[in-house]
Amino acid sequence: MMETTNPNVFAGYFPTWCPGCGDFGIWASIKGALAKLGYSPEEMAVVFGIGCSGNMNDFLWVDSFHALHGRAVPNAVGIKIANHKLPVLAIAGDGDCYGEGGNHLIHACRGNHDITILVHDNRVYGLTTGQVAPTGLKGFKAKSTPQGVIEVPVNPVALAITQGATYVAQGFAGDINHLTDLIVEGVKHKGLSLVNVFQPCVTFNHVTTYAWYRERLYKLTVQNHDPKDMKKALDKSLELDAHIPIGLIYKSERPTYTDCLPQISKETLVDAGLGFTKDDSSAMLQKFVPEFL
Amino acid sequence: MINLTVKIGGEAGFGIMTTGLFLGKIATRSGYHAFEYTEYPSLIRGSHNVVGVRISDEKTYSQEEKVDVLLCLNADTYKRHISEMKQGGMVVYDRDKTDINSIKDENRADLVYVHVPFAKILQEGAFPTVMLNNIAMGALMYLIGADFGILKNLISENFIKKGEEVINKNVNASQMGYDKARESDTEGYKVKIPKKESISSRMYLSGNEAVGLGTLAAGCKFYVAYPMTPASALLHYLAAKAEKSGMVVKHAEDEISVINMALGASWAGVRSMVGTSGGGFALMVESVSLAGITETPIVIAMVQRPGPATGMPTWTEQGDLLFIVHAGHGEFPKIVLSPGDVGEAYQLTTEAFNLADKYQTPVFILSDKYLQEGKQSIDRKEIEEYKFDINRGKLLTAEKLEVLPKGGYKRYLLTEDGISPRAIPGLPNSLQQANSYEHIEDGHTTEDAQERIKQVDKRNRKIRTYLSADFKMPQLFGPKDAELTIVSWGSMKGPVLQAMQDCGNKFNYLHFTHLWPLDKEKVSQVLKSLRKTLLVENNSTAQLGQLLQMVTGVELDNKLLKYSGRPVFPEEILARIKELGIG
């Protein structure tokens, strides 16, 4: 890994997001984090979901896989198993990761796959013109729920903690430096990291605006929170209304999924596959044919 | 000529399936050919399981309808299968447990009844019920004159990890079965399978095992699946071999995750495969399209069972051909291969990985329960001496990437053959985006009309390249000038070739393995050259017939379609060709 890189090496096309969109702050934080980590655009893999967040594929120039809606997490898990030395980041939206792909998040947490999942949580579906997202506040009125959404919002932080994620943080698109550090630590963390990012949607969400968040958000510090204590972390995850915490909510240590695979302790799967020759093929037959004789 | 079919039936939980495996292996190791066909319900305990093994000194391509020896571990077996008995067949049963007299078929005085006191043996030896299978095998060894030593070896191999005590107990159980059968019937069955003097070395394995072996030999390093009959045995086989082979085998949370994990790994540079049946594949379909546009190689083992929906999970059908050929929204190339026997299952699996890497698109191994769970003896040369290369296609090595100008790599470069060089992420100069949106050459998203057309045309050119370089025409078996040609695909190869052998080559057989895409000109020419045709398919709508008609405009004359969940029997083919005035 190099020293800090120039964040501009990651810049692709200029974004097409609405002026004032929270995505700009997240974009800046990701570029800043990758620069701080000292990666070059080819020293990591990023999987993008589908939505306004996923559209970052064209604005962030890194080795990347632009997935289907909801499926960024299993793609990221597959990449990590194939090449566990490659840092892997999944960038998705709230509908993407907590709705369409909710099941994948649960199971990725269980596996403690060493990937970082960054979720743009703006509580609406921006790209499809503002329908309510799984994190939408109860009663939120949108085109698909004109009488107000009946369901209560999912709690991604509590979900991730209880399902086995080992790094769970919450950030705010309006605080770039703070979010940058959360991403840096999430990527450095060995295990599944979830960074849930509150992001105002200036076009479709007139409830949870920048002002709404600024009135409620407060930062977690070593003085006011112990992220290693799961019960305290769960308490923090339940603060959803008058006071909402941002920062590192939960962190623990557990072997990652690929740590538990002895067959890749010496070389990555991709290297084993690239080195596979006809001789290896014959060796496989020698090993596995006799049981059928 | 020796031709012997043994059927063993009993409740699930008696170890019926193991008796099939053992009998097939004993026959194979004794120098015979064997073909095993199982029927079992979608339950774990209590219901009826039956396994049939056909043993012959001629090649066994399939099961037959009629049974020589029926080994009844319960009364149900007798009731269900007595009508299948051959003239002079033998029924083996335990008269203490099964009152056959009250249900005996009065019209079948030709049958020989042999009493083996299975229950008493269990009791006397204090054996658990699960060892009933080895007692039955012992009895059978005596009755069909097979080599008891081979059974002993198989028991030792099977329980090697459980230790000497377990092995001895099982051997004793089968010895008691052997002795009691001898006491009961000193002559045994009229057809016997003594160990031959000279034995050609054959393997005995299932379609799932053959695909698994092909997967290992092809250098696939990542297999992902969610359990689903009849593809689960492939997952189990590979999972058991993972550590020893250096593969990673992942049981993921659902089939959508399965294929997306595999695509992630494949994009990262690893040969990856998924396996499922119709319902599970239905969940994967959106991601097949993702593989198509991102041009990510993937091999999909699709093992058919009767649908729709949950259908008949443990039975067989060829009902998904058109579904697979058309799977995935949008237009993109995909390749569908279908093996007809375990040898082809191995060979086409190795080919599927090469084609997936070469064309950077989904490749299917389309099979069914009948082939994948059935077992066959084959010449080991079909596997060990089958020659193939490990061809990763236009995969760029680090050295090749280095010489490209900095930032000059284009993932979706427009090329004459439609295939773009593929760089693995993480390598210097690999900078790229694999994009599920339509894209320009460097991977960035586009909605431009001209760029769209260029990329669609590029992807479609892969079909042209495949047809000229890798498409294989259907193979013709039997006499070239036969009056009748049977046309079929996949596992139906077995019953068709069996019928051909049994009737003395009165027809020939056109066997399709490379089902999609099809070369319109060449296939039309062959179909038009045929005299009388009979399409044989294990489905109700003649899906291959529809596909051939769609591509070539040729409609085949006659049809034999079966969709009861059971495979086609060679006898049914012989009856049908008789109706057509052949034989």
Q: Which two tokens stand for residue A124?
A: 């609406």
**From B224, B287, B384, residue closest to A289, measured CB to CB:** B384
Q: Which residues have CB under 8 Å from A206's CB, separation 6+?
A: none
Residues B271 and B353 in one domain: yes
Q: Are residues B183 and B122 in the same domain?
A: yes
**DSSP-H helix ranges across B49-163:** 75-81, 118-125, 132-143, 148-158
User: Which one of B330, B360, B384 terminates a domain?
Assistant: B384
Asked whether residue B528 is domain-assigned, the answer is yes
Residue B58 CB: number of other CB atoms within 10 A?
A: 13
Name B449's Cβ contacts closer than 8 Å, sequence gap at least 6.
Answer: none
Measured in whole angstroms, the distance separating CA B551 from the mean position of its chain's CA atoms is 27
Long-range contacts of B102-110 (CB under 8 A, 24+ apart): B103/B75, B103/B78, B103/B79, B108/B82
Q: Give the max Cα distance, chain B.
A: 87
Task: Return the percent helix, strand and coil in chain A, to nearest 5.
Answer: 40, 15, 45
- Over residues B488-498, the pLDDT tens digits come to 999 999 999 99
| Spatial separation of the C-alpha atoms in residues B437 and B439, rounded to whole Å | 6
**How many residues in chain A?**
293
With beta carbons less than 8 A apart as the criterion, state whether B506 and B482 touch: yes
Q: What is the DSSP letter of B82?
A: G
Domain hosting residue A79, numbered range: 7-258
Model pTM? 0.97
For B435, phi and psi rounded to 5 degrees?
-125, 125
- Of B353, B384, B415, the last residue of a domain is B384
- Residues in chain B, how many? 583
Residue A215 lies in a domain: yes
Does residue A278 belong to any structural domain of this protein? Answer: no
Cα distances (angstroms) measured from residue A8 to each of A30, A62, A271, B164, B431: 11, 11, 31, 68, 15
**Whether residues B139 and B259 fall in one domain:** no
pLDDT, residue A7, reads 87
- Arithmetic mean of pLDDT, A93-117: 98
Bridge partners (DSSP) of residue B560 are B536
Nearest-Cα distance to chain A for B499, in Å, is 27
Digit-coded pLDDT (tens) for B352-400 = 999 999 999 999 999 999 999 999 999 999 999 999 999 999 999 899 9
From B242, B287, B444, residue closest to A13, measured CB to CB: B444
Question: Each residue of A226-235: pLDDT tens digit?
Answer: 999 999 999 9
DSSP H helices, B247-388, are 255-267, 278-294, 321-325, 342-359, 369-373, 381-384
Shared domain for B242 and B117, answered yes or no, is no
| Cβ contact, residue pair B245, A62, below 8 Å | no
Q: How many domains does chain B have?
A: 4
B413 in the same domain as B377: no
Query: What is the rounded CA–CA span in Å between residue B190 and residue A266?
Result: 59
Torsion of CA B563, B565, B567, B572, to 10 degrees: -50
Helix segments in chain A, DSSP class H: 22-37, 72-82, 94, 102-111, 156-163, 176-188, 210-216, 230-237, 269-274, 278-288
Selected residues 93-152 of chain A with any CB under 8 Å from a CB in chain B: 103-104, 106-107
Residues of A in contact with B434 (CB under 8 A): 64-66
CA-to-CA separations, B230 to A272, B207, B372, in angstroms, rounded:
30, 11, 7
Asked if residue B122 lies in contact with residue B136, where contact means CB atoms within 8 angstroms, the answer is no
Do the domain assignments include residue A274?
Answer: no
Residues B182 and B250 in one domain: no
Note whether residue A291 is domain-resident: no
How many percent of chain A have pLDDT more than 70? 99
**Is residue B338 included in any domain, yes or no?**
yes
Residues of A with CB below 8 A from B201's CB?
A: 293
Structure tokens belonging to residue A251: 């962190």
B28, B150 Cβ separation under 8 angstroms: no
Average pLDDT, chain B: 95
Q: Which residues of B touch A97 (CB under 8 A)?
A: none
Of B350, B384, B418, the position where a domain reaches its end is B384
Residue span of the structural domain in which B306 resides: 205-384
User: What token pair was written down for A206?
Assistant: 């007139």
CATH number of the structural domain spanning residue A237: 3.40.50.970
Verify that B116 and B81 share a domain, yes or no: yes
Q: Which of B167, B106, B112, B109 is nearest to B144 (CA)?
A: B112
**A184 C-beta neighbours (distance < 10 Å), count:** 18
d(CA B380, CA B385): 8
What single letter denotes the amino acid at residue B94?
D
DSSP 8-state code for residue A9: G
Q: Which residue has the higher pLDDT, B331 or B10?
A: B331
Give me the pLDDT at residue B13, please.
77
Q: Is residue A14 part of a domain?
A: yes
pLDDT of res. B75: 86
Asked if B8 contacts B139 with a C-beta cutoff of 8 angstroms, the reply is: no
Name A236's bridge partners. Answer: none
Which residues in chain A touch residue B412, judged by CB atoms under 8 angstroms apart?
A: none
Which of B275, B274, B270 lies closest to B246, judged by CA?
B270
The verdict on residue A280 lying in a domain is: no
Q: What would the pLDDT profile of A171-197 be if each residue is shown by its tens digit?
A: 999 999 999 999 999 999 999 999 999
Q: Is residue B539 part of a domain?
A: yes
Same domain, B517 and B530: yes
Mean pLDDT along residues B258-275: 98
pLDDT at B189: 96
pLDDT tens column, B533-561: 999 999 999 999 999 999 999 999 999 99
pLDDT, tens digit, 9 for 90 and up, residues B172-200: 999 999 999 999 988 999 999 999 998 88
Q: How distant is the Cα of A238 from the closest Cα of chain B, in angstroms?
A: 27
DSSP 8-state class, residue B268: T
For the record, the structure tokens of B317 come out as 């059908």
Domain count for chain A? 1
Q: What's the pLDDT tens digit per position in B204-218?
A: 999 999 999 999 999
Token digits of residue A108: 């990725």
Peptide bond into B517 cis (omega under 30): yes
Instruction: Please give the backbone phi and psi of residue B273, each rounded to the nearest 5 degrees, phi first.
Output: -145, 150
Amino acid, res. A191:
G
- Domain-embedded: residue B389: no
Would B147 be classed as within a structural domain?
A: yes
B390 part of a folded domain:
no
Taking residues B261-283, what's their average pLDDT?
A: 98
Rg, chain A, Cα only:
20
Of B260, B290, B430, the CB nearest to A42: B430
Q: Is the pLDDT of residue B461 over 70?
A: yes
Specify the range with the lowest mean pLDDT, choosing from A65-69, B14-18, B50-54, B324-328: B14-18
Encode B224-262: b = buried (16+ Cβ within 10 Å), e = exposed.
bbbebbbbbbbbbbbbebbeebbbbbbebbbbbbbbbbb
The DSSP line for A122-139 is -SEETTTTSEEPTTPPTT
* CATH number of the domain that residue B127 is part of: 3.40.920.10
The identity of residue B151, as a single letter, is L
* Confidence at residue B46, expressed as pLDDT on a 0 to 100 scale: 64
| Interatomic CA distance for residues B60 and A175, integer angstroms | 73
* Pair B65, B33 in one domain: yes
- CB contact residues (below 8 A), chain B span 346-385, against chain A: 380, 383-384
B186 in the same domain as B106:
yes
Residue A107, token pair as written in the block = 């199971």
A80 CB-near residues (< 8 Å, 6+ apart): A86, A88, A113, A114, A115, A257, A258, B264
| CATH label of the domain that carries residue B275 | 3.40.50.970
Same domain for B163 and B19: yes
B19 vs B137: CA distance, rounded Å: 7
Band of the pLDDT at B467, cuts 50, 70, 90?
very high
* ipTM higher than the 0.95 cut: yes
Q: List the 274-293 stretch of B: residues with Cβ below 8 A of A.
A: 286-287, 290
| B 167-206 residues inside an 8 A Cβ radius of A | 201-205
Measure the CA–CA gap between B356 and B373, rounded to whole angstroms: 25
Return phi, psi of residue B566, to 5°: -105, 155
CB atoms under 10 Å from CB of B406, counted, come to 9
The share of chain B scoring above pLDDT 70, in percent, equals: 99
Tokens 């090595």 appear where? B397
Residues of chain A contacting residue B397, judged by C-beta atoms under 8 Å apart: 274
CA geometry: angle B271, A277, B205, nearest 5 deg: 70
Q: Give the containing element (helix H, strand E) for B528.
A: helix B520-529
Query: What pLDDT is recorded for position A1?
Result: 45
Shared domain check, B354 and B307 = yes
Q: Does the pLDDT at position A2 exceed 60?
A: no
Confidence band, pLDDT 50/70/90 cuts, at residue B101: confident
pLDDT in tens, B51-73: 999 999 999 999 999 999 999 99
Q: Which of B220, B262, B269 sits opposite A274 (nearest CB)?
A: B269
Closest by Cβ to A280, choosing from B219, B247, B384: B219
